[in-house]
C-alpha cells in the first residue's frame, strides 16, 4: 500500500482554494479597516475576529452535517462546490463597497502619511511626527470622521463580509475532512504534508496577485475579481478529477486488505458511538489547548503583519510572507517523512521551538535591521509547517471513519477560539504598549504551547502492520 500522490494533490485543490481566499482576506481586509475606514488596531482586531466567532459554531456544525450527508457526489463535495461558487462572487462585493468608501476619502482630500527623507520623521497635513505610527493614528482619526458621516457604507461592508464568512464556513470543514476520508490512517501525515503544500501554493498564488494588484489606498476590485475567477477555475479542475465516493470506497478496501480497518464504513456508521477512554480524552484535551496556544501565537503575527511591516519596518508585506510560504513548501514533504519515523509529537515540539526563535528575531528587528524579518519568516514557515502537518492527523487519529467531520470540527473549534481572541488581544497590546509588542506576544504563546504539548500521550502514529511497511518506502505517483 502506497500513498497515491496524484490523487492527494487533486483532493488538495479544495484546500488550495481555501488558502487562496484566506491569504487575501487576512492581509487586505485589515488594510481596508485601518486605511479606508479609520479603525485602530483593537477594533480592526474585533472585526477580523468575526470570521472566527462564526467558525467556532459553524465549522463543527457543518462537519457533523457533512458526516451525515448522503448524495451521489459523496458527503463533502456538494458543500465544496456550492460554497466556493457563492463565496467567491460575494467577496467581490466587499471590494466594491470598500471602493465607495475610498472615493469618499479622496473627495475629502485626506492625504497620505509621507516619510521625510531619511530623517525618520513623517508628515501628515503639514505636521511633522516622530514616527510613522503617530502619523498613521492622526490620519486614521480623519478617516474615521468620514466613516461616521457615512455609516451606511460601513454597515453594508460588515453585512456582506459576514455573509461571505458564513458561506466559507459551510465548506471549510468538509474540504479538510476529505483527506482523511480517502487516506488510510498510516499515510495521513504524508498526505497532510501534500495538502499543506497545496495550501501553501494557494497562499503564494494570492501573495503574487497582491504584489501586482494590491496597492495601498487604491481599489481592490480587480484583485478580488481575479481571485474569484481563479477559485472557480480550480473548482472546475477539482470536480473533474475528484470522484469522492470512488476514492472513499478504495480507501476502505485498502485499509481492510492491510489489516488497518476491520469493519466496513457501512457497518461502522450503524454502530453506536463509542466513549473516549479517560487517558485518551486527557491527551485530546491537552492537544486542543496546545492548538489554541500556537494559533494565538501564529495568527496574531500573520494577521497584523501587513500593517506592522508598513508602520514599524517601513517595508512591504508580500515578500516576507512569500518567503514564509516558500520555506514551508520546501519542508512539507520532508516533515511528513520525518514524522512517520520519529513521531508526530516530537516533530510538533521541534516546530514550536523553531517558531519561538522566529518570533524572537521578529521582536528585535527594526526598520534599520529589517533584514531579520526575512529570517523570521523563513523560520516561521518551517516551524508552522512542522506543527500543521502533524497536529490535524493527531486529532483525527482519535476519530472513526463515521465522525471524521466531527473531529475536524473539534480541531477548528480550538483554532478558531484562539483566532477570536488573539486579534483583539494582540491589537489591544499594540494600542496600549506599542506595535513593538506583537512578536513578543507571539513568543509567549509558543512557550505555553510547548508546555501543554509535552503532556500529550496519544494521537501519534500507531505501529504499522507488517503488510503495510512498504507504504513508507516512497510516494507513488
> Is 475 within the bounds of a domain?
no
**CA 429 – CA 47 distance, rounded (Å):** 16
Condensed to tens digits (0 to 9), the pLDDT of residues 125-146 reads 888 888 777 888 888 899 899 9
Q: Dump pLDDT digits (tens) for 299-352.
A: 888 877 877 887 888 887 778 878 887 888 888 888 888 887 888 899 999 999
Higher per-residue confidence, 467 vs 380:
380
pTM: 0.75
* CA–CA separation, 404 and 181 (whole Å): 7
- Domain-located, residue 271: no
pLDDT in tens, 162-204: 999 999 989 988 998 899 888 887 788 788 889 988 988 898 8
| Most confidently modeled range among 159-173, 253-267, 425-439 | 159-173
Tell me, yes or no, whether 267 lies in a domain: no
Chain segment 379-410, per-residue pLDDT in tens: 999 999 899 888 888 888 777 656 788 888 88
Whichever domain contains 169, its CATH number is: 1.20.1250.20
- The β-bridge relationship of strands 127-129 and 122-124 is antiparallel
The answer to the question of residue 265 being in a domain is no
pLDDT tens, position by position, 408-422:
888 888 888 887 888
Q: Residue 22: is its pLDDT beyond 60? A: yes
- Count of domains for the chain: 1
pLDDT of residue 275: 67
114 has which bridge partners? 123
Reported as a single tens digit per residue, the pLDDT across 283-299 is: 889 999 999 999 999 98
Mean of the per-residue pLDDT values of the chain: 85
- Assess if residue 476 is contained within a domain: no
Residue 328: closest CA among 424, 207, 410:
207
pLDDT band of 470, cuts 50, 70, 90: very low
Sign of the Cα pseudo-torsion (397, 400, 404, 406, in order): negative
Cell readout for 172 is: 471549510
Asked, for residue 466, whether it belongs to a domain, the answer is no
The pLDDT confidence band at residue 272, using thresholds 50, 70 and 90, is: very low
Query: What confidence category does residue 471 fall into, taking pLDDT thresholds of 50, 70 and 90?
Result: very low
Residue ranges making up the domain that contains 27? 5-260+278-461
- The answer to whether residue 273 is domain-embedded is no
Span 12-32, average pLDDT: 91
Residue 472 has pLDDT above 70, yes or no: no
User: Would the pLDDT of 8 be above 70?
Assistant: yes
Amino acid at each position: 500500500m502506497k500513498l497515491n500522490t496524484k490523487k492527494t494533490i487533486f483532493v488538495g485543490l479544495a484546500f488550495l482554494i481555501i488558502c487562496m481566499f484566506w491569504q487575501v482576506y487576512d492581509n487586505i481586509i485589515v488594510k481596508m479597516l485601518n486605511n479606508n475606514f479609520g479603525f485602530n488596531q483593537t477594533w480592526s482586531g474585533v472585526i477580523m475576529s468575526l470570521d472566527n466567532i462564526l467558525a467556532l459554531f459553524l465549522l463543527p456544525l457543518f462537519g457533523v452535517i457533512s458526516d451525515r450527508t448522503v448524495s451521489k457526489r459523496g458527503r463533502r463535495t456538494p458543500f465544496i462546490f456550492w460554497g466556493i461558487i457563492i463565496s467567491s462572487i460575494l467577496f467581490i462585493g466587499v471590494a466594491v463597497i470598500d471602493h465607495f468608501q475610498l472615493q469618499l476619502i479622496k473627495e475629502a482630500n485626506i492625504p497620505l502619511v509621507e516619510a521625510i527623507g531619511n530623517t525618520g520623521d513623517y508628515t501628515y497635513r503639514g505636521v511633522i511626527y516622530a514616527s510613522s505610527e503617530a502619523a498613521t493614528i492622526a490620519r486614521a482619526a480623519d478617516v474615521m470622521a468620514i466613516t461616521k458621516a457615512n455609516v451606511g457604507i460601513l454597515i453594508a461592508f460588515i453585512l456582506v463580509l459576514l455573509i461571505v464568512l458564513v458561506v466559507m464556513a459551510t465548506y471549510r470543514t468538509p474540504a479538510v475532512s476529505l483527506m482523511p476520508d480517502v487516506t488510510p490512517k498510516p499515510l495521513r501525515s504524508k498526505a497532510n504534508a501534500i495538502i499543506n503544500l497545496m495550501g501553501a501554493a494557494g497562499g503564494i498564488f494570492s501573495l503574487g496577485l497582491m504584489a501586482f494588484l494590491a496597492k495601498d489606498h487604491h481599489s481592490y476590485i480587480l484583485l478580488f475579481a481575479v481571485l474569484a475567477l481563479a477559485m472557480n477555475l480550480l473548482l472546475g479542475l477539482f470536480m473533474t478529477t475528484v470522484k469522492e465516493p470512488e476514492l472513499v470506497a478504495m480507501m476502505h478496501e485498502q485499509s481492510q486488505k492491510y489489516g488497518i480497518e476491520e469493519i466496513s464504513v457501512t457497518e461502522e456508521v450503524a454502530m453506536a458511538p463509542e466513549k473516549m477512554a479517560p487517558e485518551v480524552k486527557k491527551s485530546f484535551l491537552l492537544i486542543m489547548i496546545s492548538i489554541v496556544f500556537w494559533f494565538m501565537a501564529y495568527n496574531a503575527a500573520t494577521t497584523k503583519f501587513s500593517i506592522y511591516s508598513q508602520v514599524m519596518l517601513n517595508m512591504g508585506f508580500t515578500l516576507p510572507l512569500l518567503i514564509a510560504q516558500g520555506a514551508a513548501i520546501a519542508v512539507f514533504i520532508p516533515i511528513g517523512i520525518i514524522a512517520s519515523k520519529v513521531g508526530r509529537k516530537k516533530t510538533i515540539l521541534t516546530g514550536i521551538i523553531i517558531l519561538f526563535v522566529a518570533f524572537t528575531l521578529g521582536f528585535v528587528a527594526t526598520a534599520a535591521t529589517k533584514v531579520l524579518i526575512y529570517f523570521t519568516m523563513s523560520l516561521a514557515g518551517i516551524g508552522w509547517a512542522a506543527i500543521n502537518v502533524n497536529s490535524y492527523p493527531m486529532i483525527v487519529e482519535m476519530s472513526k471513519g463515521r465522525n471524521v467531520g466531527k473531529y475536524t470540527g473539534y480541531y477548528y473549534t480550538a483554532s478558531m477560539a484562539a483566532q477570536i481572541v488573539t486579534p483583539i488581544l494582540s491589537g489591544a497590546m499594540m494600542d496600549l504598549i506599542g506595535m513593538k509588542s506583537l512578536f513578543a506576544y507571539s513568543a509567549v504563546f509558543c512557550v505555553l504551547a510547548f508546555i501543554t504539548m509535552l503532556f500529550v500521550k496519544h494521537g501519534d502514529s500507531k505501529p504499522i502492520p507488517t503488510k503495510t511497511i512498504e507504504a513508507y518506502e516512497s510516494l507513488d505517483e
